[in-house]
Amino acid sequence: MASDLTSTPSGLPVRPDLAGLFPFGVLRRGGTVSVRGSTSLLLSLLAEPTAQDSWAAVVGLPDLGVVAAAELGVAVDRVALVRDPGASVASVVAALLDGMDLVVVARGRLPDAQARRLSARARHRGAVLLTPDEWPGVDVELRCVGSEWAGVGAGEGYLAGREVDVRSRGRGVAARGGRVVVRVPGGRGPVARARAPGRFVVGSRHQRFPRGVMARRLALTPLEIERKFETWMAPRSACLSCGVPTGR
């Protein structure tokens, strides 16, 4: 059964400049959100929740830049990366939805039926499912419809960022849509120091991280990931030093 989008929901916070894109100005728990045309915008949706101690996971985005995420305000010490889930993407995402507040997943070749089951899982667990791709039955879809670079004058200056025109549409009360113009930083900005003792990266190659961010690599297969999350999340009391959440 589709979730009720007409009543005030519990939700995760978003940046004030993005609140106009969502009904009630929050990321509704249990919702599925598609963000088309801007990885920066997608990452920006993780900034406020992770800054307020929520946990997030990113699945199937091998080119995701940790430094870029930190520049956008994401608390990268509270983000788990599963760069290559292989053929087990559905089971990996399902396991992550059981313990994370937000899960970002690249759909790839995921069939409609499996995508809908993952959305249903998110509704049941009260997590937020985010994707950069088309997704069946999505609750809110964000699209970047235009952008303009700032910082360059007549033959001088440098790219300081760009203004992106973003529009939203969706189901229920989200059908009214929304529109905002947001500023996306350009170039390398300051990187906030990570606050927790560490984070974990699954299936990644060697990568440099911002100073103050401790990265730990766990060499796990997708099946092992699923089994470990079932073990970790079932009692909602397990706590590993690498930063696995103990529940919401």
- Per the structure, the count of domains in the chain is 1
Whether 157 is in a domain gets the answer no
Reported as a single tens digit per residue, the pLDDT across 38-67 is: 888 999 999 999 999 999 999 999 988 888
Which element (helix H / strand E) includes 158?
A: strand 157-170
82 part of a folded domain: yes
Residue 156 in domain: no
Phi, psi of 145 (to 5 degrees): -105, -5
Q: Report the CATH number at residue 61.
A: 3.40.50.300
Q: Confidence band (pLDDT; 50, 70, 90) for 183?
A: confident
Is residue 146 included in any domain, yes or no? no
| Residue 218 pLDDT exceeds 70 | no
| CA-wise closest residue to 180 among 7, 41, 37 | 41
**What average pLDDT does the segment 124-139 reach?**
96
**Angle, to 10 degrees, between the axis of helix 112-125 and the axis of helix 89-97?**
10
Structural domain for 222, as ranges: 11-139+188-233
Examine residue 194 and state whether it is found in any structural domain, yes or no: yes
Compute the distance between CA of residue 68 and CA of residue 20 in angstroms, rounded to an integer.
24
Checking if the pLDDT of 137 tops 80, the result is: yes
Domain annotation covers residue 20: yes
CB atoms within 10 A of CB 1: 5
- Return the H-helix or E-strand segment holding 152: strand 140-152
Residue 165 lies in a domain: no
Alpha helices for the chain (secondary structure H): 39-51, 66-71, 89-97, 112-125, 222-233
163 domain residue, yes or no = no
> 11 pLDDT exceeds 70?
yes
